Amino acid sequence: MSSEIVIVGGGAAGIAAASSLLRRHRHLDITIVDPADTHYYQPGWTLVGAGVFAPEFTARPMQDQIPAGVKWIKAAVTGFEPENDSVLLEGSRVIKYKYLIVSPGLKLNWAAVEGLQETLGKNGVTSNYRYDLAPYTWQLVQNLKSGRALFTQPPMPIKCAGAPQKAMYLSADYWRRKNCLSSVNIDYFTSGAVIFGVPDFVPALMEYIKLYNVNLQFGHTLKAVDGPARKAWIEKAGPEGPTTITTSFDMLHAVPPQVAPDFVRASFLVDQAGWVDVDKNSLRHKKYANIYSLGDVSSAPNAKTAAAARKQAPVVAHNLLSDMKVISGKAQYDGYGSCPLTVERGKIILAEFGYGGKVMQSFPPYIIDGTKPSRAAWILKESIMPYLYWNAMLKGREWLAKPKIFS
């Protein structure tokens, strides 16, 4: 088997890259390799966990998302042979390429937290990071009238770094509206040293931390869970080394550590941290000139969000076609990412930023001031973004995503 362009991964990044390529040149030989039957709109799972979306709203058949004219190999990748321009597939199959795009997303490492896998979806333990668990989050939130709710965030990098606290804010807002917030003790354990990595958005977030009376704990990492006993073990960083504390819970929203998929980490494509080693501007591999990577698996130091992939896909498409001498100029990715922080039902802080934490707002402040909670940002998240995802991003329509081209 062979294809001019092989894309590993049929998620947001892979399909957007394929569509952006076809928008620039209709007659390309493209193959997507992905074993999944279903394509998920993962940014919607936060709102599933808050009872805003039904889970089915975020899922569509994979076959319906593959762009017309693109071949789909429904198989798992087992490895890469970049020296031979080959991708290894399950069943000892091989597909050759002239150009390769690596975008399989990342792996949720549930096993890194002892006891977590065994208790997910029961015993009050949930996570909006899985399609099947987000509805359980909403069930737990509705049923909790008093007790202790724990929300955890692991060490970076993770996909959508704001998602762990989004779940907390929406849950707390529900309890506030039901007049039981005073009876619920909320703990937010984060491995980080700040509530959010871009300082401009921190003051508004801290107002909600105070409003919901959240016990904010920095330098704390979830290490183990005993679901039936409703206990969690948290490692606390300290100047003399880590210590472990034990806490009980009635509800635990857990987010696992996250790494590149095993077949990526075992390859020659990765840097020391295990991510596909690319130039952060061109998204071209640093060693193999005919390989690009985008989305969560890339080593580019941007936020791992769908919004980032939306901006990266046109850059990869342009640069790859420039390599093929189809078009001219080079495109550069500026690190753009977006994190719509759902601080209450009906209001969002639309955090948009690029490399170095530079604030990069898409709208004039009189429409949406991203440093403050707004109703307009909520409407964008709830009503407009899902439509744009399915009908623009995945179709190669680059609304507010066209890259700058340099000679």
Burial 110-138 (b: 16+ CB within 10 A, else e): bebbebbeebbeebbbbbbbbbebbbbbb
Which member of 17, 33, 102, 160 is catalytic?
160
CB atoms within 10 A of CB 99: 22
Give 343's strand partners. none
Q: Which is catalytic among the residues 100, 158, 339, 401?
A: 339
d(CA 129, CA 363): 29
**Does the annotation mark 180 as catalytic?**
no
What is the C-alpha separation between 27 and 386, in angstroms, rounded? Answer: 29
405-to-38, 312, 316, 400 alpha-carbon distances in Å: 34, 13, 12, 15
Q: Which residues are part of the catalytic machinery?
A: 160, 339
